[in-house]
């Protein structure tokens, strides 16, 4: 079903959103409400078309049932401000079952964290059926959870053979990803960074089929440099991934994809914010020193590649960007992406850390799209089908 043309009038709409926002552990203050704001167009569309949103979301990773720190009660006030309506907050499914009997258009319900029920992550069919019985139709707008086969993201959809659809956010996220996956304007450069090669092997392997250039930075670059015979000191290194790194380099050569590794690094004497630093060639980092950011030559080279690209995907920082002294590589690439976007390139930033990095540098509004999905976006670019999306077909 098509969300924008569906008739919501007087219907109870089970709307799975992703309200998994970061909060202060002591004051429970919301630190970044981007995910709540991202769901607003869908929520407001349902309200404006006389439907009754019944919001379902997870929040954090509770282990043993209800826990105050993972309660969605902490987001109610902000949500009420944003939609300018009171929220009917239901502490559990029983309360939701009771109260949803007499909700009317104009009202909005929010169910407590679905992960307070272990059945949610188990993808339990009976639990999904219980949730489904609360509504007349199902809308999934939780792109950030679309890679999970959980009760409220996937199994629930079975109970709505026809009246199920994706919301505006999910549709936009998919359209942006597909723009790259299906027909990227060339040259297409993928920037992959972050801590671990092991997390990014599948995405790099898949990107080898569509990218013209792949820039590899961050801690994961050192395993590639080591694999080529370099000395990387005490930089992050996954020795058990050396063969994988060599195989990626080999396949890239066969497929004519240019792999760009950092020629130089900012090395630190220890993993500390104020450690002594020096600029060194990445393939000869002294014993006991560790690369924590890419160096000036790498920045210049990587930014040049970005400036010549028509499509750019960015997943993972170039260094320990959380510390100001090791943020320059990540920041420079963020600026390069913003400039490329201004010149008409399509730029997609995704993955938790890249999204927080670009937000830190206040450049989120200057790229084409910052995805709200971390794992989900990664899995899409690994070439996988997401269960939350498949369930809607
Ligand atoms: P990931 O979650 O795999 O995308 O990794 C993101 C994390 O990698 C961030 O917290 C960065 O601080 C960290 N990181 C990036 N580059 C390095 C590096 N050269 N050494 C250690 N950690 C790094």
Ligand 1 touching residue 360 (CB < 6 A)? no
pLDDT in tens, 117-150: 999 999 999 999 999 999 999 999 999 999 999 9
Average pLDDT over residues 340-348: 98
196 is catalytic: yes
Ligand 1 touching residue 295 (CB < 6 A)? no
Ligand 1 touching residue 322 (CB < 6 A)? yes
pLDDT for the residue numbered 264: 98
Which one is the CATH code of 3-170: 3.40.30.10, 3.90.550.10, 3.40.50.1260, 1.10.1370.30?
A: 3.40.50.1260
Average pLDDT over residues 317-345: 98
Ligand 1 touching residue 103 (CB < 6 A)? no
* 183-381 and 3-170 share a CATH fold: yes
pLDDT for the residue numbered 283: 98
pLDDT in tens, 349-390: 997 689 889 999 999 999 999 999 889 999 999 999 999 999
pTM over 0.75: yes
Domains of the chain by residue range:
3-170, 183-381
* CA 32 / ligand 1 centre spacing (Å): 21
Q: Tell how many helices (H) and how many strands (E) occur in the chain.
A: 14, 17
pLDDT in tens, 8-58: 999 999 999 999 999 999 999 999 898 999 999 999 999 999 999 999 999
pLDDT for the residue numbered 352: 67
Catalytic residue among 60, 230, 374, 375: 375
Give the residue whose CA is nearest to atom 5 of ligand 1: 194
319 — pLDDT class (breaks 50, 70, 90): very high
Q: DSSP label at 214?
A: E
Q: How many CB atoms lie within 10 A of CB 380?
A: 26
pLDDT for the residue numbered 48: 97
**Which CATH code is given to the segment(s) 183-381?**
3.40.50.1260
Q: How many CB atoms lie within 10 A of CB 159?
A: 18
Could you tell me what percent of the chain has a pLDDT over 70? 100
């Amino acid at each position: 079903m098509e969300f924008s043309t569906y008739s919501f009038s007087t219907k109870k709409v089970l709307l799975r959103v992703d309200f998994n926002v970061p909060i202060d552990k002591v004051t429970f203050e919301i630190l970044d409400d981007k995910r709540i704001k991202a769901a607003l167009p869908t929520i407001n569309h349902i309200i404006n078309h006389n439907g009754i949103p019944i919001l379902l979301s997870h929040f954090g990773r509770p282990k043993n049932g209800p826990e105050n720190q993972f309660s969605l009660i902490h987001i109610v006030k902000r949500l009420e401000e944003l939609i300018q309506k009171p929220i009917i907050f239901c502490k559990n499914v029983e309360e939701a079952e009771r109260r949803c009997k007499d909700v009317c258009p104009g009202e909005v319900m929010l169910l407590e964290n679905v992960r307070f029920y272990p059945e949610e992550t188990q993808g339990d069919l009976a639990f999904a059926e219980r949730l489904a019985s609360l509504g007349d139709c199902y809308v999934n707008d939780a792109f950030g959870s679309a890679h999970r086969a959980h009760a409220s993201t996937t199994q629930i959809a079975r109970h709505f053979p026809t009246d199920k659809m994706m919301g505006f956010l999910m549709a936009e996220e998919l359209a942006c990803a597909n723009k790259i996956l299906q027909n990227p304007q060339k040259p297409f450069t993928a920037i992959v960074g972050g801590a671990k090669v092991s997390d990014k092997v599948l995405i790099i392997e898949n990107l080898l089929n569509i990218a013209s250039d792949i820039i590899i930075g961050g801690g994961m670059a050192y395993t590639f440099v080591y694999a080529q015979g370099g000395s990387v000191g005490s930089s992050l290194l996954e020795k058990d991934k050396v063969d994988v790194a060599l195989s990626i380099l080999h396949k890239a050569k066969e497929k004519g994809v240019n792999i760009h590794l950092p020629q130089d690094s900012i090395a630190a004497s220890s993993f500390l914010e104020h450690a002594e630093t020096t600029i060194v060639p990445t393939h000869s980092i002294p014993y006991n020193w560790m690369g924590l950011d890419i160096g000036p030559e790498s920045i210049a080279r990587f930014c040049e590649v970005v400036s010549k690209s028509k499509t750019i995907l960015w997943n993972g920082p170039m260094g320990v960007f959380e510390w100001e002294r090791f943020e320059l590589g990540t920041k420079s690439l963020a600026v390069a992406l913003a400039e490329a976007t201004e010149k008409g390139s399509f730029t997609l930033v995704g993955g938790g850390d890249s999204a927080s990095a670009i937000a830190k540098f206040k450049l989120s509004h200057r790229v084409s799209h910052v995805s709200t999905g971390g794992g989900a976006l990664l899995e899409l670019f690994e070439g996988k089908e997401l269960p939350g999306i498949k369930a809607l077909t």
